[in-house]
Amino acid sequence: MSWVTVIWSMAAGVALALAALQLLVWLRDRAAIAHLVFSVAAVAAAVIAGQELALMHARTPAEYAEILRWWHVSAAAIVIAIVWFVRFYLGTGRLWLAWLITLLRGLILLANFLVYPNATFAEIHRLREVSWLGESLTAPVGDQTPWRNLIHLSMLLLVVYVLDAANTARKQGKHRPALTLAAGILLAVALAAVTSDLMVRGVLPGPLVALVFLVIVAAMAVELSVDLVRARQLARELHESRERMRLAAQAADLGLWEWDVVEDRIWANEVIDARVGISGTKPMGLKDYLALVHPEDRERMEAAIRRTITEGVELNEEYRLTGLNASEHWIDARGRVEYDDRRQPLRLRGVSADITARKRLEDEAQRHRNQLARAQRVLALGQLSSVVAHELNQPIGAILRNAEAGENFLRRDPPDLDEVREILADIRKDDQRAAAVIGRMRSLLQSGPLRTEAIAPRELAEQAAATLETEIRARDAALSIAAPAELPKVRGDRIHLQQVLINLLLNSVDASSNAPERQRHIALQATRSDNDKVVFSVEDNGEGFEPDRLSDLFVPYYTTKADGIGLGLSISKTIVEAHGGSIHAENTASGGARVWFSLPVAEEEIAA
């Protein structure tokens, strides 16, 4: 067997082997388009090797021309495959230039089959024998066709395209692959131009493109092989990382989960399996999982997941999960969505923690806070009893006097019914006043969980002031309220927040009792701060606080009153913080004291 046959057969075998290897990679990962394009280029290079071997052993000009005609198909396949390999592998390259080269090679192929004998020769006059690698081969002698100018133009554009793509990839940090591909492709293009020209001049028996393009195939194979080695290393590192993450998740009792949006399939780790029994069962989709969520939380949880998928916001929800083992758990779930290049959701993955114990502690703490608040309200009952007595004394006395007057009008002959009607109307009004006083006191003493609602700050201030109106008047104090009606509403429990204002107002009434009668003034204000909060403040002109004891004001059982129990400000602090706010105290420049607390603006008010 001659050296020419051996070399060209080996070139074809190497190209086919590399093509098969990269094709297997693509079959395992259909997104790796660069591996598929490489396989096309390698197969085309193998075909060209066989075609060139046939060219060098052709016996007639017609046979040589026909083989060369089909050789152009393989050469076009290699050029086009190189263009798109660069595009997919480096992730760069001017798209319009890639399409221009592709269309130009297509035009050359069209001319190759329309003109005779092919796109290289206008006519092959004869074949002459040349001695090459110790073997007698045939070389063409003929006239070139003008279509070779388009071939040269396409190769020049290929050089420009590769240089531009390599430069862009280098700027993106892909130094090695850009250099390897650019060097290999440019060297092969230069050699192809030289050998092809020598063939047309009759110096070489063929264009020798199989060997030349094997340089490109080798450069492409080197890069893809490096990627395979790197992928194997990354796979090993990923496995080790997953093992460490699995152990960390188990130690921290964190559940790892992933929802494949396309396949609607949920995966969960061993922590979630032990918690609710998800893994190890039949394949589970989103609806199956939501069926395990507590009915009261299910609709909210589904809406949160849909919002995360459509808007890309982070998932952050607390919900109750019953699970397949019928045990109820409070779950804190957090996750993020992953999208493809077309902004279509692929998967939602995240972590979840079992917060059942924390929820129980929170409920227990809230129950204790409610009990403590109720105890303080009961203790305050003695202080407020005079308020109730004064409040009820006037409407009850008025009712008695109107009833006596009504009897007198009925004894007349004839009875004065018009006067009786007016008296009954007055009795009804006085009765409603007395019922309102009793209702406020009963609400204040009620026990139960927070019942939040959107409340206007002015309404809250006026209701608290109305409860203490008689007490303030009995102390010869004056109360001013500054709460604009346009202030945004706050969200909270009306009774608890009224209690805070009542505690602060009572403290101010006591503090200002030592001031001269006409100087006992208390100011209740409500303003909006810059951080979407409403600030309530109560200020008096009393003696103020001891400067070195300001930090102790909100400590339980610390009091500045001789007959105080030290729970008012402590409970007020607890209530305010339970509503997401904060409370503070200070002495004023005039010598009095000011206590203020802030509450977040209701969410619906912010959205508006």
Q: Is 122 inside a domain boundary?
A: yes
Question: Is 31 in the same domain as 124?
Answer: yes
Confidence of residue 458 (pLDDT cuts 50, 70, 90): very high
* Better-scored residue on pLDDT, 565 or 26: 26
- Scanning 412-468, the segments in alpha helix (DSSP H) are 417-444, 457-467
Alpha-helical runs (H) found in 115-208: 148-171, 175-200
Distance CA 97, CA 139 (A): 35
**Does the bond joining 146 to the residue before it have cis omega, within 30 degrees of 0?**
no
Q: Is residue 595's pLDDT more than 80?
A: yes
Integer Cα distance of 507 and 561 in angstroms: 9
Q: Determine contact, residues 161/93, Cβ cutoff 8 Å.
A: yes
CB 528 within 8 A of CB 593: no
CATH number at residue 272: 3.30.450.20
Question: Does one domain contain both 41 and 157?
Answer: yes
Tens digit of pLDDT for each residue in 428-449? 776 776 676 566 555 555 555 6
- Span 168-193, mean pLDDT? 80
Least confident of 111-115, 399-403, 464-468, 511-515: 399-403
Range ranked top by mean pLDDT from 111-120, 248-257, 372-381: 111-120
Q: Which of 354, 387, 407 is the last residue of a domain?
A: 354
Shared-domain flag, residues 146 and 257: no
* CATH number for position 462: 3.30.565.10
Q: How many domains does the chain have?
A: 3
Max mean pLDDT among 385-394, 402-411, 493-502 falls in 493-502
- Over the stretch 7-16, which tens digit does the pLDDT of each residue have? 888 888 877 8
Contact 192, 158 (CB under 8 A): no
Q: What pLDDT, on a 0 to 100 scale, did the predictor assign at position 35?
A: 79
In this prediction, residue 383 has a pLDDT band, given cuts at 50, 70 and 90, of: low
Reported confidence tier of residue 189, pLDDT bands at 50, 70, 90: confident
Give residue 80's pLDDT: 93
pLDDT at 282: 62
Q: Give domain status of residue 597, yes or no.
A: yes
Note the pTM of the prediction, 2 decimals.
0.46
Q: Domain check: are 228 and 331 in the same one?
A: no
Average pLDDT over residues 98-119: 91
Burial class (CB in 10 A: 0-12, 13-18, 19+), 373: buried
Residues 6+ apart with CB under 8 A from 574: 369, 372, 373
The reply to whether 247 falls in a domain is: no
Both 179 and 303 in a single domain?
no
* 390 pLDDT tier (thresholds 50, 70, 90): very low
Highest mean pLDDT among 17-26, 166-175, 216-225, 394-403: 166-175
13 shares a domain with 130: yes
The verdict on 88 and 196 lying in the same domain is: yes
Could you give the CA distance from residue 506 to residue 381 in angstroms, rounded to a whole number?
Answer: 12
Tokens, residue 161: 């395209």
126 and 256 assigned to the same domain: no
**Tokens standing for 392?**
């009820």
Using alpha carbons only, give the angle 45, 47, 51 rounded to the nearest 5 degrees: 115
Report the candidate in 456, 462, 450 with the shortest Cα–Cα distance to residue 604.
456
Q: Which residue has the tokens 């997401």?
A: 580
Tens-digit pLDDT profile for residues 461-470:
998 888 777 6
pLDDT score, position 14: 77
More confident residue, 562 or 413: 413
Give the mean pLDDT of the chain.
Answer: 79
Do the strands 265-268 and 490-493 form a parallel or antiparallel pair, or are they unpaired?
unpaired
Give domain status of residue 237, yes or no.
Answer: no
Asked if pLDDT for residue 276 goes beyond 70, the answer is: no
Q: Considering the domain boundaries, does residue 376 fall inside one?
A: no
Asked if pLDDT for residue 354 goes beyond 60, the answer is yes
In eight-state DSSP terms, residue 552 is: G
Stronger pLDDT, 199 or 64, i.e. the higher one: 64
Rounded CA separation 561/355 (Å) = 42
Residues 333 and 222 in one domain: no
**Does residue 455 sit in the same domain as residue 547?**
yes
Please check whether residue 434 lies inside any domain of the structure.
no
For residues 228 and 300, membership in a common domain is answered with no
Q: Helices 457-467 and 494-511 sit at what angle, rounded to 10 degrees? A: 50
Domain boundary among 309, 326, 354: 354
What one-letter code names the amino acid at 347?
A: R
Q: Are residues 113 and 70 in the same domain?
A: yes
407 within a domain of the structure (yes/no):
no
Q: Which residue has the higher pLDDT, 272 or 238?
A: 272
d(CA 72, CA 39): 18
CATH code where residue 63 lies: 1.20.1070
Is 148 part of any domain?
A: yes
Query: Residue 236 above 70 pLDDT?
Result: no
- Model pLDDT, residue 110: 92
| pLDDT of 384 above 60 | no
Share of the chain above pLDDT 70, in %: 79
* Of the listed ranges 220-224, 332-336, 590-594, the one predicted with least confidence: 220-224
Average pLDDT over residues 173-193: 78
Look at residue 225 in the predicted model and tell me its pLDDT.
Answer: 63
- Domain residues for the domain of 276 are 252-354
Whether the per-residue pLDDT at 249 is higher than 80: the answer is no
The domain boundary residue, chosen from 311, 327, 354: 354
List of residues 6+ apart from 362 with CB closer than 8 A: none
